[in-house]
Amino acid sequence: MDKILVSKNELREDDLINDYLMEMVKKLDQKVISARRNVEINGILSPFYLDLEKEIRLIFIYEEQTLTYLNSHKENIKKIKELRRKDVKIILLVSEMSQLDLNKVLNLCESKIIPNVSITKGEVKSVSACKELEIHGYQGWILKDFEE
Amino acid sequence: MLYELENVLYMLEYGVFIYFPVNFAIFFLFRQFLLRYFSRSYRPYSTGLTRDKAKVTAVIPEYGESLEIFERCIKSVAKNNPDEIIVVHDDKRKEVVDIAKKYGAKVISLSKRVGKRGALVIGWLNAIGDIIVQLDSDTIMEDNTINEIIKPFADPKVAGVQGRPMLFRTDGRIPYLFGQIIEYSRDIVVRALNGTLNVIDGKIAAYRRSYLLEIIRNFNHDTYGKRRLIVADDKALTYYANMNGYKTVYQATAVAKSAAQLTFLKFLNQQLRWARSGYLYLIKEMRSGLFFKMPGKYRFHMLTYLFAPFSFALALIDTLLVPGNPTAWSWSYLAYYGFNIPIILYSLLIFIIGLYLSMKISFVILNLKLPDKISFLDIITLGILGLFVIFPMFIYAAITHYGVSEWRGSSYLG
């Protein structure tokens, strides 16, 4: 029997994060130093924090208010980089691509050049000209409505 | 009667009664004796890390487990009161989620089959604990298993701890007895190898989370040649701990019971998987040089354990076929005088008595105190299956060891 799949709006934050982690681990080329959920680092509350050998990844779910929050904390993000002497990368997880406002997303970047990118579901993209940012389009479905 | 006596006298005169491969039996018993000797100084940790000093997460990967056994498993874990229980599953059963949530577990339902290794990694990344206790979904803890298994982590060099797995019977008596004897024998082996274990059995194990995170990259991209390894997760975790210079230790007081295989065929399948991963990681260890850095007793165990079936095969060939050997003469005798039932029966009797004595002496040397009564017939059945089914299967496993990368079985436990 085929799986019964949940609709997109039933996805929880945890599901998106685990989907990202599954994909991330496949391509991982560094040691994981630390991994924590709901961590406050330098005044920034992150749903998932990954301290890797060469970089720190702060993982967020894409939402309008997340962008506002991150934009208001850009200085704190820069300070993490200075304090930890590692690159800091913001990972935005998105399940619905049509929600994505790329212009607003790019405000998070150092560079203001708007690249010509199109991101579809199931893709993980680093935005060119913006090495601090990676957008992860949700790859799969979590089984939450189960078969009887 | 006279004829039989004449046969016996003939055999005594020419030594044809040496049907049993005595040289192999001596080798086997000598190995058991040395293991017992190496294990004499082992003492479990009576003090060490306590629950107030570290958070503990229990991670249970689940796929296709019997719901009744799974509930017993998770209930026993909840009774140990860890800081967190995580069930990672990628099957489609709502009941698994309901059972897990009933006992306060966090459930991670994966969208794709990522195998046991992938499921474990997701569990580690999500865990809040400093210590991760991992167990199979058919393992039932005792009330103090977690308190006991975390004790060795007071030593910062300890990365992984093996608890003491035993079995409970589910169906067939033979797979249960066989499995139980293996577990009880392994108790001696891991006592002997304490500090540098050859494998931390995934039935009941604990790891420092920082170590697990450190090796995610290697663990998830573990390869053999061009093949990606997707099973043998416990061998891999032990291998990388030993490679990175950590201690891998045994805590005999952290007891848990796992479901025995239902049938002898399933038991064989499990043994084939274990044997393949044993040979594969032995080669990996040799290639990486780890094998030669390990203590002598480790090398002794690995070589005698994995090459015992070859040794037996050679002993058998030598005993039966090599010209000049007394038993080989008996074959010529048989060929000359035809099918001689008394000789065959006599040889069989010698074989059975030899087998029984070897097994019994081995149990005494290892001081195995099994919870079940094992009859004469059980010992003979287990001995014959061991020599003529399991041993050839080990040889097959050695030849096809690369097959460990294949997925076998319908659940994580096969």
- Nearest Cβ partner of B92 from A25, A35, A147? A147
Token digits for B51?
Answer: 């629950």
- Nearest Cβ partner of B109 from A29, A35, A144? A144
B216 in reach of chain A (CB within 8 A): yes
Interchain CB distance below 8 Å, B108 and A14: yes
Mean pLDDT (whole number) for B29-45: 94
Interchain CB distance below 8 Å, B92 and A32: no
In a domain? residue A40? yes
Give the pLDDT confidence score for residue A8 in this predicted structure: 46
Beta bridge partners of A57: A50, A89
Is ipTM over 0.90?
A: no
In a domain? residue A115? yes
For an interface test with B, the pick among A1, A3, A16, A32 (most B C-beta atoms closer than 10 Å) comes out as: A32
Neighbouring CB atoms inside 10 A of B147's CB total 18
Query: Would the CA dihedral through B56, B87, B123, A35 be positive or negative?
Result: negative
d(CA B86, CA B316): 50
- Nearest Cβ partner of A25 from B92, B109, B220? B220
Judge if pTM exceeds 0.90: no
| Contacts of residue B205, Cβ cutoff 8 Å, sequence gap at least 6 | B133, B134, B135, B160, B161, B162, B163, B234, B237
| Cα radius of gyration (chain B) | 24
In a domain? residue A1? no
Give the pLDDT confidence score for residue B277 in this predicted structure: 92
Mean pLDDT (whole number) for B102-114: 87
Question: What is the rounded average pLDDT for all residues in chain B?
Answer: 87
pLDDT at B343 over 70: no
The share of chain A scoring above pLDDT 70, in percent, equals 70
Q: Which residue of B has its CA nearest to A139?
A: B111
Interchain CB distance below 8 Å, A29 and B217: yes
Give the pLDDT confidence score for residue B9 in this predicted structure: 55
Give the pLDDT confidence score for residue B236 in this predicted structure: 95
Beta strands in B180-322, from DSSP E residues, in sequence order: 204-208, 223-224, 227-228, 247-259
Give the pLDDT confidence score for residue A109 in this predicted structure: 74
Interchain CB distance below 8 Å, B94 and A147: yes
User: Is the CB of residue A87 less than 8 Å from the CB of residue A56?
Assistant: yes
Give the pLDDT confidence score for residue B414 in this predicted structure: 38
A148 in reach of chain B (CB within 8 A): yes
Beta strands in B155-307, from DSSP E residues, in sequence order: 158-168, 204-208, 223-224, 227-228, 247-259
Which of the given ranges, A106-115, B57-66, B312-321, has the highest pLDDT on average?
B57-66
Higher-confidence residue of B324 and B123: namely: B123
Where residue B109 falls among pLDDT bands split at 50, 70, 90?
confident
pLDDT at B187 over 60: yes
The Cα of B178 is separated from the nearest Cα of chain A by a number of Å equal to: 37
Give the pLDDT confidence score for residue A11 in this predicted structure: 61
- Nearest Cβ partner of B220 from A28, A33, A139? A28
In a domain? residue A3? no
Q: Which of residues 113-142 of A touch B (CB under 8 A)?
A: 139-142
User: Is the CB of residue B74 less than 8 Å from the CB of residue B99?
Assistant: yes
Q: Which domain CATH number covers A46?
A: 3.40.1350
A38 in reach of chain B (CB within 8 A): no
What φ, ψ does residue B192 adopt, rounded to 5°? Answer: -65, -35
Which residue matches tokens 């993982």? A59
Range of the domain at A95: 8-145
Give the pLDDT confidence score for residue A132 in this predicted structure: 74
Where residue B18 falls among pLDDT bands split at 50, 70, 90?
very low
Q: Which residue of B has its CA nearest to A26?
A: B220
Higher-confidence residue of B346 and B285: namely: B285
In a domain? residue A100? yes
In a domain? residue A90? yes
Q: Which of residues 46-75 of A touch B (CB under 8 A)?
A: none
Interchain CB distance below 8 Å, B213 and A37: no
d(CA A133, CA B125): 21
In a domain? residue A33? yes
pLDDT digits (tens, 9 = 90+) for B54-88: 999 999 999 989 999 999 999 999 999 999 999 99
Query: Would the CA dihedral through B340, B341, B342, B344 be positive or negative?
Result: positive
Beta strands in B200-359, from DSSP E residues, in sequence order: 204-208, 223-224, 227-228, 247-259
Mean pLDDT (whole number) for B212-241: 90
Interchain CB distance below 8 Å, B217 and A30: yes
Give the pLDDT confidence score for residue B1 in this predicted structure: 39
User: Is the CB of residue B365 less than 8 Å from the CB of residue B32?
Assistant: yes
d(CA B175, CA B179): 6
Q: Which residue of A has its CA nearest to B118?
A: A22
Higher-confidence residue of B257 and B407: namely: B257
Mean pLDDT (whole number) for B339-346: 68
Give the pLDDT confidence score for residue A72 in this predicted structure: 86
Give the pLDDT confidence score for residue B96 in this predicted structure: 92
Count the domains in chain A: 1
In a domain? residue A139? yes
pLDDT at B40 over 90: yes
pLDDT digits (tens, 9 = 90+) for B119-151: 999 999 999 999 999 999 999 999 999 999 999
pLDDT at B39 over 80: yes
For an interface test with A, the pick among B97, B111, B215, B220 (most A C-beta atoms closer than 10 Å) comes out as: B111
Where residue B16 falls among pLDDT bands split at 50, 70, 90?
low
The Cα of A102 is separated from the nearest Cα of chain B by a number of Å equal to: 27
pLDDT at A108 over 50: yes
Higher-confidence residue of A82 and B242: namely: B242
Higher-confidence residue of B216 and B27: namely: B216
The share of chain B scoring above pLDDT 90, in percent, equals 66
Give the pLDDT confidence score for residue B413 in this predicted structure: 43
Mean pLDDT (whole number) for A79-95: 86
pLDDT digits (tens, 9 = 90+) for A15-66: 889 888 988 888 888 999 999 999 998 889 999 999 999 999 999 998 888 8
Mean pLDDT (whole number) for B27-49: 93
B159 in reach of chain A (CB within 8 A): no
